[in-house]
Structure 1
Amino acid sequence: VSPGSSHRPVARDMLGHGVRVLVGLTVVAASLAVDAPLEYTGRCDEPGETCLITRADNPLPLVELPKYRDNALSFASIGDWGCGPYNCVLKPDPNHISAGATQKAVAGVMAQVAEKTGVQFVLAVGDNFYFHGVQDVNDPLFDSVWRDRFNQPSMNVPWYVTLGNHDHYGNPEAQIDYSKAGFDKRWILPNYYYTTVRDVGSNGKQLQLVFVDTVILDEGYGRTLLLEKIREGIVQPEALARYDSRFHIRQKAASEQLLWLEETLAQSTADWLIVIGHYPVYSGGEHGSTFSLVELVKPLLEKYNVDAYISGHDHN
């Protein structure tokens, strides 16, 4: 995000005090021992509440920017990346059988680019763990898919996470609990949808990131995709009962999330405003556009001059 010309007033704090997000980092490659928990500012126990994550005792240092990128902010985005060394071979085609090796190669190149460009954080835009998410906070996929592969120094930055449909086919709360318990301080997912603000360089300009759970916003689409994965044999049939058992949670959160989204966008005074979700609004890929988002979300993005919508889901 380059400074450019501001089209909004310079952002101020959202809770009456500072808004810089600093996340302490302890990377333990082979252990899930819980370190001191993250400190949350705001009502992070409620979906959509402004939630800032701090670690005053051991803040994650800001990445030093390359000289040619003064007063800029660099970040990386990755989606549909949830293949470790073994969990994607369930789908018997060459691309999925080799997907674990491909993901590892991407992690290496991503780390190299992040080091060169001074990446400050990573956006993980869903389908973080194939094919049926994680089951609990001790699920080995946290290590095999993420911690063992993205452990380079340049990847030791905050990872702002949103959930995809495959994450909902498991236990989505486990990814939230993993964040709140502080198993790895980089993993930031205080709830299904949330927002935070980052400084852009040292010139007083700010970027606001708004994370939405698009699976919650389109209940029918997520269930249809799950039935497709069950027919393909890559998700076990019992996942459907588990998914349906959480219907009441998603239904309540859907209407609340849309109200929260409009309120959040309307109140933003940041110079740059980016919304992040798993499903695309428009797409020319295999899945195509998400018509519920075209109807419900696109008007809000346009009304409040959102600079970008970053998504995943549709890939080859």
Structure 2
Amino acid sequence: MAVDMLLLAIVTLVFSSSSASAELQRFEHPVKGDGSLSLLVVGDWGRRGGYNQSHVATQMGKVGDELNIDFVISTGDNFYEDGLSGLDDKAFEESFSNVYVAPSLQKQWYIVLGNHDYRGDVLAQLSPVLRQTDSRWLCMRSFIVNTAIVQFFFVDTTPFVMEYWTDPEDNHYDWRGVAPRETYVANLLKDLDTALKESTAAWKFVVGHHTMRSVSEHGDTVELLENLLPILKAGGVDLYINGHDHCLEHIGSRDSPIQYLTSGGGSKAWRGVYTPNADKLHFFYDGQGFMSMELTERDVKVAFYDAFGTNLYEWSVTKEVNASM
């Protein structure tokens, strides 16, 4: 995709009215010559290399090289503790550009916002100006990435959570372009529902920051279960991928085909919390790390790695595919 077209798309989304329902912005990403796709997923990372962020980044570089990855997904909380202070905040380089330096990681990054990002200057992270500093950066509220075998639906989950709108700790949240909450969430859900039902992709993955199902500190996010999950079920979503809890998880749903994958171990972790929920826990690691994905039209393979590059867990699924995008 040409850089100028990409910048134009970002500008259009950032400065359009959030209260007006509009089709989610779409981007195209090519697959490999053999029709496959590989990528890494990391979340909750932006600590200037601290709390093992640099160790995780090093191992991401090694796995990224082995898999010849096509891109990287960030599940949010990109800069701690309070997002970016503005376009000239050195945290962008110190937590992103200067940390993820491996050659294999010099690919497109598709990025969503987390709750800590909303505690800073959100428009700075969304601004195309940051791409002049690092061309890998593509951060938006909600958008779609189309490939020949899978569609990724990126969802801005922070505005769903009522706690942030009435924060008892009086934290500041940057609601520019979001408030009023009810209108923003309703429009987003409508647009996502339409896009999912119209999709003919072999695989449909939804990416958000907040947990849908989790056995760690934050647990299940009630607002997502009530408002977002029904749309995912109706839209035939295969995977929900998130961060927020600083751990690695795979949880299988007992009432739908949806699998829940948490990759929020990009830096600070080890919360020491384990609270099972009603769904089936396949894997849980209360520590730093990241996730890889390898995809074909028929197969998906997921692997979780720790900060030392140890392969902790693998899972794969195959399905018959008759439709194409």
TM-score by length of 2: 0.66
Shift of 1:160: 0.4
User: Which deviates further from its counterpart, 137-146 or 242-251?
Assistant: 242-251
CA distance in 2, matches of 1:245, 1:39: 20
2-side partners of 1:149 and 1:63: how far apart? Answer: 26
Aligned length: 242
> How does 1:101-250 map onto structure 2 within 5 Å?
101-178=51-128, 182-189=132-139, 191-199=140-148, 206-218=149-161, 220-223=162-165, 227=168, 230=169, 239-240=171-172, 243=174, 248=179, 250=181
C-alpha contact 1:23 1:185 (8 A) present in aligned 2: no
Instruction: Answer 1 or 2: which has greater strand percent.
Output: 2
Q: Distance in 1 between matches of 2:5 and 2:2?
A: 12
> Aligned equivalents of 1:118 and 1:247: distance in 2?
37
Shift of the 142–264 alpha-carbon distance from structure 1 to 2, 3 Å rule, reads: same
Distance 1:247 1:300, change over 3 A: closer
1:254 deviates by: 1.5
Local SS of the residue matching 2:164: helix
Are residues 301 and 63 of structure 1, via their aligned partners in 2, closer, same or farther at CA, if it must alter by over 3 Å?
Answer: closer
Letter of the aligned partner of 1:222 in structure 2? Y
Query: Residues 74 and 181 (structure 1 numbering): CA distance in 2 closer, same or farther, change over 3 Å?
Result: closer
Q: Structure 1 residues 160 and 246 mapped into 2: Cα distance closer, same or farther (>3 Å)? A: closer
Deviations 1:156-213 (A, max 9, x none): 1110000000000011111101467543221112x311112023xxxxxx21111111
Query: Structure 2: which amino acid aligns with 1:132?
Result: D
* CA-to-aligned-CA distance 1:229-252 (integer Å, 9 cap, x gap): x5xxxxxx6x53x54777725443
Alignment of 1:1-316 (within 5 A): 22=1, 38-40=7-9, 44=13, 45-46=15-16, 49-52=23-26, 70-85=34-49, 100-178=50-128, 182-189=132-139, 191-199=140-148, 206-218=149-161, 220-223=162-165, 227=168, 230=169, 239-240=171-172, 243=174, 248=179, 250-315=181-246, 316=271
Is the CA contact (8 Å cut-off) linking 2:61 and 2:102 kept in structure 1? yes
Partners of 1:73 and 1:284 in 2: CA distance: 30
The CA deviation at 1:36 is 10
SS in 2 for 1:209: strand
Q: Distance in 2 between matches of 1:111 and 1:213?
A: 27
Distance 1:152 1:132, change over 3 A: same
SS in 2 for 1:74: strand
Over aligned residues, Cα RMSD in angstroms?
Answer: 2.9
Supply the distance in 2 between the matched residues of 1:252 and 1:300 (Cα, whole angstroms): 17
| Percent sequence identity over aligned pairs | 31
- Following the alignment from structure 2 to structure 1, what is the Cα–Cα distance between the partners of residues 234 and 31? 34
Report the counterpart of residue 203 of structure 1 in structure 2: none
Secondary structure of the residue aligned to 1:248 is coil
**Would the aligned equivalents of 2:77 and 2:113 in 1 still touch at CA under 8 Å?**
yes
Residues 41 and 181 of structure 1: CA distance in aligned 2, closer, same or farther (over 3 Å): closer
Q: What is the TM-score with the length of structure 1 in the denominator? A: 0.68
Once superposed, which parts of structure 1, at least 4 consecutive aligned residues long, lie more than 6 Å away? 62-65, 244-247
Over residues 115-153 of structure 1, what are the superposed CA-to-partner deviations in whole Å (9 max), with x where a residue is unaligned? 001111111001000000001122111100000011221
Q: Structure 2: any 5+ residue segments left out of the alignment?
A: 247-270, 272-325
Structure 1: give runs of 5+ residues left out of the alignment.
1-21, 25-34, 55-59, 86-99, 200-205, 231-236
CA distance in 2, matches of 1:310, 1:149: 23
Contact 2:145/2:153 (<8 A) preserved: yes
